[in-house]
Structure 1
Amino acid sequence: MLKQRVITAVALLAILLGTLLAPSLWPLVVLLTVTAGCALWEWLRLTWPEPDTRWPACLAIASAVLLFCIAYFWLEAEPAGWAFALQAGINRWLLPAVVGIWVFGVTALVMQGQSSKRSGGLALSLFAFAAMIAVWAALVQIFIARGAWYLVSLMALIWFADIAAYFTGKAFGRHKLAPRVSPGKTWEGAAGGVVAATLWIWISSFWAGSFGAELYQKWPWWGVVLVSVFLAALSIVGDLFESLLKRRAGVKDSSQLLPGHGGAYDRIDALLPVAPLAMLMTGI
């Protein structure tokens, strides 16, 4: 299992770096769109009110095609007026609304926990569409506006927080964070993840063009610390929320698309709430 996980992780990293370093924007846009479509399919399989139906797959494919079309018009040399209006609407209304749901609604849901019954499936499924569109739009616009290194440095915040939370929790974990949702996660592990994210933002700020560098340009040091803590905490909420959905559905992984890693949603669960908020905080 470990060997399989390592092989898959190396392959995914190679694909990501290849698309980030490509001379065209399209390889990364294609990767983000396919990933969003797969993750949406997996999310809907967990929450759709009627289990064992083809609707999640059909809706995910249709959504991915729609995102491809939006990206095509966004990346034109002279985008149409409606494309600008759509982009402005997403940035002004959808992103803040989705972030608000993550911060207040999802956090409360995760901390409360929920039974294994598939209640509230329609609302959770509707939120899936909004959350996937928001993270896709945020990542595409961040890459267009700031470039590859900026996007990697933002993603690395989540990676370091996740790794540190895991090992800190294994070594020092005593107090359960959300026992009804994910019994293995602890407050000590969460604290380790927050510290790692804060350190990464500070270290990466010494490299021009990074997410951390822009934060330190726009915020005082104590503000950057607060932002780092908040983003790391929100990444944990994203992780716990997927655990809640899987517990409701009675499954271990969202799918088996990625050998040793589960599904696409398992890989981007922490990124879903963080990317839209990061974009709003930096004013891209």
Structure 2
Amino acid sequence: MLLQRTLTALVLAPLVILLILLSSTAVFALIAAAAFLAALWEWAQLSGLKNQSARIGLLVAAAVVFALLWYGHAGITTPVLLAAGVAWWLLACLWLRHFAFGAAPTAENRTLKLLAGAFVLFPAWIALISIHEREPHGHWWTLLALVIVWAADIGAYFSGRTFGKRKLAPQISPGKTWAGAYGALVAGVVVTLLGGWLLDVRGAPLLGLALLALLTVAVSIVGDLIESLMKRHAQVKDSGTIIPGHGGLMDRLDSVFAALPVFAAGLLLLGL
């Protein structure tokens, strides 16, 4: 399994990097929207929406929302959605504390989970676009945002395997440990400091960027746990099978969805 995951990552990572660095923001937004819609399909399944026609209708509605957001994101839409995204992930921490909430397969819980999906996807997409179109290094800031999450994932894996004993959330994701979380935080900060230095960030702003990395990685862990909670409620191992060795798109993007609004909002506050 590890070999398959590694080979898949070695194929996909260069493609994602090239897409980020070489695409215009319009093209990047379109491709990202397509990936997010595929993830929404999986989220709808995890939410308990079993009717395929209903899921298709949900995707059509989401595609319309993406189009509207694209044409309105230059105004107040972006900061409002970023704030909504950050607020949602703070609220998600409460859901993790009360992990049995929403577990019953009722229509009300399905509706709540579908609504939560809107707060997962749309703020993350608008965050991705706002970072990518920033001047003068938006493409590189976008890459850094993803590399932070990737580095945190790698740091968590090796730190957890080496030092992990105390479980982080055993009722939700038994494999995650506090050591893994600490490794993720360290890896994320190191990568951010290096990336910020290469992007000519110095002094106090670089320290602010390091603090932002801590918050971004912490929230990315929450995103990972929320998707694990959704899978536990749905009684499935993976959100899908589209990525060999990795499961579904939600399995790979859960941390990214959580990290992006926080990172984008932090860049705005730091003036970077």
Same fold (TM over 0.5): yes
1:189 maps to what in 2?
Answer: 180
Q: Tell me, what secondary structure is at the counterpart of 2:198?
A: coil
The answer as to 2:151 corresponding to 1:164 is no
SS in structure 2 of the partner of residue 252 of structure 1? coil
Residue 142 of structure 1 corresponds to: 131
The answer to whether residue 218 in structure 2 is matched with residue 227 in structure 1 is: no
Instruction: Tell me how far 1:70 sits from its aligned partner.
Output: 4.5
1:202-249 CA distance string (max 9 Å, x none):
22222026xxx3xx566473x444322221111100000000000000
Q: Which of 75, 78, 83 pairs up with 1:96?
A: 83
Q: Do the aligned residues in 1 keep the contact of 2:212 with 2:263 (CA within 8 Å)?
A: no
Which residue in 2 is equivalent to 1:152? Answer: 143
Q: Please state if 1:249 is matched with 2:238.
A: no
- State the match for 2:8 in structure 1: 8
Report 1:1-284 matches (<5 A).
Answer: 1-22=1-22, 24-48=24-48, 50-68=49-67, 70-71=69-70, 73=71, 83=72, 87-103=74-90, 105-114=91-100, 116-118=103-105, 120-145=109-134, 146-208=137-199, 213=201, 219=205, 221=207, 223-283=208-268
TM-score (norm 1): 0.84
Give the TM-score taking structure 2 as reference length.
0.87
Going from structure 1 to structure 2, the CA distance change for 1:206 and 1:242 (only over 3 Å counts) comes to same
Q: Deviations over 1:146-173 (max 9, x none)?
A: 4221111111111111111111111111
> 1:182: Cα distance to partner?
0.2
1:11 to partner: Cα distance: 2.9
The question of whether the paired residues in 1 share the 8 Å contact of 2:42 and 2:239 is answered with: yes
**What is the CA–CA distance in structure 1 between the aligned matches of 2:33 and 2:81, rounded to whole Å?**
18
Q: Displacement, 1:68? A: 4.2
Q: 1:28 offset after TM fit, Å?
A: 1.7
Deviations 1:11-60 (A, max 9, x none): 32232123223353343222211111011111111114x43443223312
> Counterpart of 2:197 in 1: which secondary structure?
coil
Counterpart residue identity of residue 56, structure 2: A
Instruction: Report if aligned partners of 2:231, 2:239 keep a CA contact under 8 Å in 1.
Output: yes
Q: Greater shift after overlay, 22-31 or 256-265? A: 22-31
Matched length:
264
Letter in 2 for 1:57: I
Change (3 A) 1:240 1:96: same
Gaps of 5+ in 2: none
Shift, 1:142, TM fit: 0.8
Whole-angstrom CA distance in 1 between matches of 2:116 and 2:132:
24
From the superposition, tell whether residues 93 and 19 of structure 1 become closer, same or farther in structure 2 (CA, over 3 Å).
Answer: same
Specify the SS of the correspondent of 1:97.
Answer: helix
What root-mean-square deviation, in Å, do the aligned CA atoms of Structure 1 and Structure 2 show? 2.3
Per the TM alignment, residue 124 of structure 1 is displaced from its structure 2 partner at its CA by: 1.7
Separation of aligned partners in 2, 1:11 and 1:64: 28
| Maintained 8 Å contact 2:213/2:263 | no
Instruction: Give the match's secondary structure for 1:277.
Output: helix
- Counterpart secondary structure, 1:206: helix
Please identify, of 106-115 and 176-185, the stretch whose mean Cα deviation from structure 2 is larger.
106-115
Distance 1:96 1:172 in 2: 36
Deviations 1:242-271 (A, max 9, x none): 000000001111111112211111111011
